[in-house]
Amino acid sequence: MRLKTRSRGVALRISVEFGEPGFSLAAPKRLLERLQPLKLRLNAALPWMLPLVLAVALLVSGAAVRAQQSAGGTPPAGNSENGKKLFSSDGCYECHGLRGQGATQTGAARIGPPILSLDSFLSYVRHPANQMPPYSSKAVSDQDLTDIYAYLKSIPLPPKGKDIPLLNK
Amino acid sequence: MNKPKKIEVDRRNFLKSAAAGAAALAATSGTVAAQPTELRRTVPAPMSPEAEVGTPSGAEVLTADRTGSDFMADVIKSLGFEYVCANPGSSFRGLHESIINYGGNKSPEFITCCHEESSVAMAHGYAKVEGKPLAVLAHGTVGVQHAAMAIYNAYCDRVPVYLILGNIIDATKRMPGVEWAHSVQDAAAMIRDFTKWDDLPISLTHFAESAVRAYKIAMTPPTLPVVIVADGELQENPISADIKMHIPKLTLAAPPQGDTGAVAEVARLLVAAETPVILADRMARTPAGVASLIELAEALQSPVVDLGGRMNFPTRHPLNQSDRHRALVADADVVLGLEVADLFGALNNFRDQIERTTRSITKANAKLISINANDLYIKGNYQDFQRYPEVDVAIAADAEATLPSLAEAVKRLMTDDRKRAFQDRGSRLQAAHQQSLERARDSAAFAWDASPISTARLSAEVWAQIKDQDWSLVSATTFVSRWPQRLWSFDKHYQYLGNAGGYGIGYGAPAALGAALANRKHGRLTVNIQNDGDLMYAPGVLWTAAHHGIPLLNIMHNNRAYHQEVMQIQIMADRHSRGVTNCGTGTAITAPDIDFAKLAQSMGVYGDGPVSDPKDLGPAIKRALDVVKRGEPAMLDVVTQPR
């Protein structure tokens, strides 16, 4: 699945291509391709720049989410309680997990909490790339999606894996 | 046509007439060549109701010291089968009795199964651990009909399974009623599309030769299921006690290795490559396969993507880059596929929308190489062979057998410059591997405390309990999002067995038990993360586990649905913009929820759960593990997130 957002005029596609929900090397590759005028030696540098670009992308997106939460940023309009119910009843959980944690088997990205803006979220759900089935407004209203977004926004970030002893065996 | 009456001899009168003509029989029995003719002539007359209820004459011989099935048991023993799995059936009653009494129920030992599909799937799981088949007995009609899906799974998964089907060929010898319904002209016909070889022996010597031939064929890569039909008359007709019959010597064929010139060309491409990647799928048949792949990868400092058909490459090896499959393929100048079941799928992206599309992810000038025994054997009807991959070098050979010569060829071409380049590459890959592991751990932290329990949490909790033991994970990890491979340290070929092959649900539980049967004598801890829908196909395997004392730790991945199908229906509902909340209809396994602990307990298996709070999971696993360490099966029901 690919999530599409826009930043400074550069399309950054964040996708699940390689078994890891969230990001793929295809995304930074396209980003780098857009930066060709900067004379980046794409082919030579790409393989070893990708992890760096990925890491930066992860840091930026994660930091943005944390900053918004810690600063008490304006929550999106929507009813998170209703959104939680809809996330289950409308089948979102089937691929993304009940907390939006994503799953490699389904190819569904981790979306709890989302890194997209509400507008991008709405746009993507209506016209998804890759495998995600499209949810039309006939099936799910904008208000319902806004509630779902509010629910996903309400999901707190977990601790880092290195801070969970059971994950370091 | 011959006149049947001239050769018909009642089975019960055979010894009588044989005694009268003992000298004649003995004179011919000394030579193997004479047996088929003599034994074909010992077929009895039809059994009439009058004969059954009437008073037999004092001269009638009603017992026999030795029958054809005793000799069949000798043949089966000579092939080294440890077990024979079967749901009992009258068409092979003679062989059944010979195995348990004449053969002493040892090598093979009779394993009582509750369904023929379970018998075959047990054989499937056993073979992937032990590297050799076990025998399965089944009716040639209703038994093989039950078994068919499991046979298909083994066929698709390239696993040897040895089937012996009971049947009664001679229509004049069948008991009225059931034996007619349980007889068939060509018992192997319905599974011939997905077995490698079959035969219908019409004499005991024929049986011996075909039985040995079948074993050899099954074990020659690509390893596949084979079928021998054991005629009921051939099983039950008496044979002289002192008769000596020959059992042919079994000599397995050396697995086919790649052509020397082609191997040299592959080595040249790999050594010259700047960004190679090795894809391994059903490659490691034995420990040697894992060792050979490590040797090749380390010589090249090439990334390896283990596609999971087997445990091909250690998960914690720095060259293991399995989580970067698509990225590495997209960047590769050389791709080497080793026994890849779906190479096209590994090199292309597929999009399942109204218009289904595929897109290559390889570079236009990338060199694509395949070493695959599947090129040596393919059939047309069932389409498990996948879409045709356009490769540059195709070697029709067993990859495991070819790897040593490929590694040597690579080493011969190495120069100091290339060695330095490889070392640089290796250092970068080591860093990427560590990053993958850290990303996996960070991802696992999401939904860590959720209820139902996340598949990441489930996998981490199991790993914490088993990591210091000699363990074997015998279930496919697809439906738990490959968390075990992402979090655990696998380094032995028996620690992961891949999936069903044909994606036939109902494989998991019996295959796990068969694998546990193989692991038992090695003292290994067998772990099965068991899907709920799969277990419900044939839960009788729990009874088989208890009855035969097979230690097996079953951890339910109980998401209370045929979840893959929930998602499929969701796709359709979304596509049609209707009823997106209805996708549990026909797919959910709820109302009532199944109590798997009680199900297990009802069959004599330790049962615990359902556990839905992640805090309770670790202690519950430990309790179940204590049971397994005593040599018993255990079942822990865990209510989980879908994937």
Give the model's pLDDT for residue B38.
40
Residue of chain B with shortest Cα separation from A134: B574
Q: Quote the CA–CA distance of B235 and B168 in Å, as a whole number.
A: 10
Question: CA quadruple B52, B56, B60, B63: dihedral positive or negative?
Answer: positive
**Pick from B324, B432, B482: CB nearest A104:** B482
pLDDT of residue A38: 37
Measured CA distances, A16 to A2, A35, A77, A102 (Å):
6, 22, 28, 9
- Do residue B327 and residue A140 have CB atoms under 8 angstroms apart? no
Residue B259 tokens, joined = 């052509």
B7 neighbors B170 (Cβ within 8 angstroms): no
Say which residue the tokens 């011989």 belong to: B61
Write down all domains in chain A, each with its CATH number in brackets.
2-70 (no CATH), 80-154 (1.10.760)
User: Is the per-residue pLDDT at B43 higher than 90?
Assistant: no
Residue B241 is predicted with a pLDDT of 82
Cβ separation of B446 and A22 shorter than 8 Å? no
Candidates B632, B544, B633; CA nearest to B109 is B544
A156 in contact with B, Cβ within 8 Å: no
Confidence (pLDDT) at B47: 46
> With an 8 Å Cβ cutoff, are A139 and B446 in contact?
no
Task: Give the per-residue pLDDT at A77.
Answer: 82
In this complex, do A94 and B583 lie within 8 Å of one another by their Cβ atoms?
yes
Mutating which of B574, B585, B621, B622 best tests the A interface, going by the most A Cβ atoms within 10 A? B574
**DSSP per-residue codes, B461-516:** HHHHHHTTS-EEE-S--GGGTTHHHHHS---SGGG-----SS--TT-HHHHHHHHH
What are B427-443's pLDDT values in tens digits? Answer: 999 999 999 999 999 99
Kindly tell me if the per-residue pLDDT of A55 is higher than 60: no
Local structure of B586: helix, strand or coil: coil
High-pLDDT (> 90) share of chain B, %: 90
Across B33-42, B69-78, B300-309, least confident range: B33-42
Decide: B535 and B596 in contact? Cβ < 8 Å.
Answer: yes
Q: Give the integer Cα–Cα distance in Å for B214 and B198.
A: 7
In this prediction, residue A66 carries a pLDDT of 39
pLDDT class for A17, splitting at 50, 70, 90? very low
Mean pLDDT of B304-330: 98
A91:B467 CB<8 A: no
Q: Give me the sheet containing B334-338, strands edge to edge.
A: B304-306, B276-280, B334-338, B367-371, B393-395
Amino acid A26: pLDDT: 39
Q: Which of B250, B232, B246 is nearest to B71 (CA)?
A: B246
**Closest partner residue to A46 among B331, B480, B574, by Cβ?**
B331
| Domains of chain B, first to last | 4-53 (no CATH), 68-236 (3.40.50.970), 260-432 (3.40.50.1220), 446-558+594-638 (3.40.50.970)
Tell me whether residues A159 and B445 touch, CB distance under 8 A.
yes
**Does residue B257 sit in helix, strand or coil?**
coil
Q: How far is B391 from chain A (nearest CA, A)?
A: 22
Give the gap in angstroms from C-alpha B334 to the nearest C-alpha of chain A. Answer: 14
Whether residue B124 contacts residue B159, with contact meaning beta carbons closer than 8 Å, is answered with: yes
B575/A134 Cβ within 8 A? yes
In chain A, the largest separation of any two C-alpha atoms, in whole Å, equals 50
Chain A residues with CB under 8 Å of B446 CB are 97, 99, 101-102, 110, 112, 158
Give the residue among B284, B278, B279, B294 at the shortest CA–CA distance from B255.
B284
Q: How far apart are CA B168 and CA A66, in angstroms?
A: 74
Chain A (100-139) residues lying within 8 Å, Cβ to Cβ, of chain B:
101-106, 110, 112, 130-131, 133-136, 138-139
Chain B residues with CB inside 8 Å of A160's CB? 441-442, 445
**If you measure CA to CA, which chain B residue comes closest to A27?**
B327
In chain B, the percentage of residues whose pLDDT exceeds 70 is: 91
Among B368, B360, B367, B358, residue whose Cα is nearest residue B338: B368
pLDDT at A63: 42
> Mean per-residue pLDDT for B440-460?
98
- Alpha-carbon distance of A1 to A14, in angstroms, equals 8
The residue with tokens 């996330």 is A87
Both structure tokens of B491: 């380094």
Closest to B519 (Cα-Cα) out of B110, B126, B161: B126
Question: Cβ contact (<8 Å) for B330 and A25?
Answer: yes
Size of interface A-B (CB pairs under 8 A): 165
Closest residue in A to B455 (Cα–Cα): A103
Q: Look at residue B129 in the predicted model and tell me its pLDDT.
A: 98
Residue B33 has pLDDT above 60, yes or no: no
B348 burial level (CB within 10 Å; 0-12, 13-18, 19+): middle
Of residues B632, B540, B616, the one with CA closest to residue B121: B540
Specify the pLDDT at position A130: 85
Q: What order do you get walking across the sheet with B606-611 strand by strand?
A: B471-473, B525-531, B552-557, B633-638, B606-611
User: Given B439, B467, B583, which is nearest A20 (Cβ)?
Assistant: B439
Searching chain B, which residue's CA lies closest to the CA of residue A48?
B428
Given A18, A48, A167, which is nearest B323 (Cβ)? A18
Give yes or no for residue A9 having a pLDDT over 70.
no
Q: B443–A103: do the CB atoms touch at under 8 Å?
A: no
Three-state SS for B378-409 is CCCCCCCCCCCCCCCEEECCCHHHHHHHHHHH
Segment B234-262 mean pLDDT: 95
Q: Using one digit for the tens of pLDDT, what is the confidence trace for B532-587?
A: 999 999 999 999 999 999 999 999 999 999 999 999 999 999 999 999 999 999 99
Q: Are B463 and A169 inside 8 Å of each other by CB? A: yes
Mutate to test the interface with B, among A32, A104, A152 (most CBs of B within 10 A): A104
Name every residue whose Cβ is closer than 8 Å to that of residue B73 and which is 6 or more positions away in sequence: B95, B98, B99, B102, B103
The DSSP output letter for B101 is: I
Largest distance between two CA atoms of chain B: 93
Strands B226-231 and B197-199: parallel
Mean confidence (pLDDT) of chain B = 92
> What's the pTM value of the predicted model, to 2 decimals?
0.86
B contact test, residue of A14, A30, A87, A105 with most B CBs within 10 A: A105
B380 pLDDT above the threshold of 50: yes
| B212-231 pLDDT per residue, tens | 999 999 999 999 999 999 99
What would the two tokens of residue A113 be?
């909490």
Mean of the pLDDT values across residues A43-64?
40
Average pLDDT for B106-110: 98
- Indicate whether B135 pLDDT > 90: yes
For the beta carbon of residue A162, count every other beta carbon within 10 angstroms. 12
Contact assignment for A18 to B574 by CB distance below 8 Å? no
Nearest residue to A80 (alpha-carbon basis) of A124, A145, A158, A157: A145
pLDDT (0 to 100) of residue B186 = 98
Question: How far is C-alpha A94 from the chain's CA centre?
Answer: 16
Cβ contacts of A21 on chain B, cutoff 8 Å: 443
DSSP B639: B
Distance (Å) from the C-alpha of residue B643 to the closest C-alpha of chain A? 6
Q: Are B87 and B122 in contact (CB under 8 A)?
A: no
From chain A, the residues in CB contact with B349 under 8 A are 130
Query: Mind giving me the DSSP string for B30-81?
Result: TSGGGHHHHHHTTPPPPPPHHHHHSPPPTT-----S-BHHHHHHHHHHHTT-
β-pairing verdict for B357-360 and B348-351? antiparallel
pLDDT single digits (tens) B568-578: 999 999 999 99
Report whether B44 contacts B233 (CB < 8 A): yes
pLDDT at B7 (0 to 100)? 37
Distance set, CA A131 to CA A116, A128, B357, B496, B570 (Å):
18, 8, 11, 28, 12
Burial label for A153, CB within 10 Å (0-12, 13-18, 19+), is buried
- Provide the ipTM: 0.87
The pLDDT value given to residue B377 = 94
Start-to-end Cα distance in chain A: 30
Measured distance CA(B632)–CA(B83) in Å, rounded? 19
**CB–CB of A85/A148 below 8 Å?**
no
Give A-chain residues touching B438 at CB under 8 angstroms. Answer: 161-162
pLDDT of residue B55: 55
Q: Is the pLDDT of residue A37 over 70?
A: no
Sign for the CA dihedral angle at B568, B574, B577, B578 comes to positive
Q: How many CB atoms lie within 10 A of CB B409?
A: 20
- Judge whether B273 and B331 are in contact, CB under 8 Å: no
How does DSSP classify residue A39? Answer: T
Cα–Cα distances in angstroms (integers) from residue B4 to residues B49, B173, B366, in the given order:
21, 12, 68
The Cβ-side half-sphere exposure at B315, using a 13 Å CA radius, reads 21
Which residues of chain A does B351 touch, with a Cβ-Cβ cutoff of 8 Å? 130-131
Rounded to an integer, what distance in angstroms lies between the CA atom of residue B465 and that of residue B622? 7
Which DSSP category does B635 fall into? E
B54: confidence class by pLDDT, cuts 50, 70, 90? low
Q: How confident is the model at residue B242 (pLDDT cuts 50, 70, 90)?
A: confident
User: Taking CB atoms and an 8 Å limit, are B641 and A98 in contact across chains?
Assistant: yes
pLDDT by residue (tens digit) across B605-624?
Answer: 999 999 999 999 999 999 99
- Exposed/middle/buried for residue B577 (C-beta within 10 Å: 0-12, 13-18, 19+): middle
User: What pLDDT band is residue B147 in, cutting at 50, 70 and 90?
Assistant: very high
Whole-angstrom Cα distance, residue A27 to residue A3? 10
pLDDT at residue A76 in the model: 55
Q: What is the mean pLDDT of residues B76-99?
A: 98
CA pair distance A13, A5, nearest whole angstrom? 7
Considering only CB atoms, B577 lies closest to which of A29, A110, A138, namely: A138
Coil, strand or helix at B207: helix
